Every structure is written in C-alpha cells, then in structure tokens.
Amino acid sequence: MTTQEFVKKMEKDEELCQKMRGCEKPEEAYELAKTAGITDDLDVFTKVMKQLNERASQELSDEELENVAGGSSSSSDAGKAAAAAAI
C-alpha cells in the first residue's frame, strides 16, 4: 500500500487515527504505517506526509472553516490531521 492509500485508509479508521496522533516522531508514525501494510520507504512516507500537512494547513474550504469555527470535524479531517501530527 502506498502512503496515499494509507492516508485514505486512516481517514476511515478512527482507531488508526488515534494511534497516529500518539506518535511523537516520524519514525514512530512510519512503523505504525508499516504494520498497517505500507510499502513505501521512510523517505517517501515522510515526504508525502509533509506535503499533506502543508496542503492541509493552506487549503481550507469554506465548509472546513465553518467546522473549525463551530468545533466540528469530519473523519477525513481527523485522518489528515493525525497523519500530519507526527511529521
């Protein structure tokens, strides 16, 4: 599974999101991703996750802004946030 596929899987799996949020280092997040079946190496994983984090912090839709203002989030948002947390 690629890193992009892992992120999609994580968006649907709250338990996996929670585990990713608990990772303090990129290497910990990568080890967790490997146990979930990721096949990319650490460099690719880190690069993709950093790009995701940068994109997520720059591109918020009107709906996402409303969710943030209202304290709501979707599982997709949670997955992306968890993915980026350790990177």
pTM (2 d.p.): 0.65
DSSP string, 3-64: HHHHHHHHHT-HHHHHHHHT--SHHHHHHHHHHTT--S-HHHHHHHHHHHHHHHHH---HHH
pLDDT above 80: residue 26 = yes
- Provide the domain limits for residue 31: 3-85
pLDDT tens digits, 46-74: 999 888 878 777 756 666 666 666 555 55
* Number of domains the chain contains: 1
The pLDDT assigned to 62 comes to 63
The pLDDT assigned to 51 comes to 87
The pLDDT assigned to 21 comes to 87
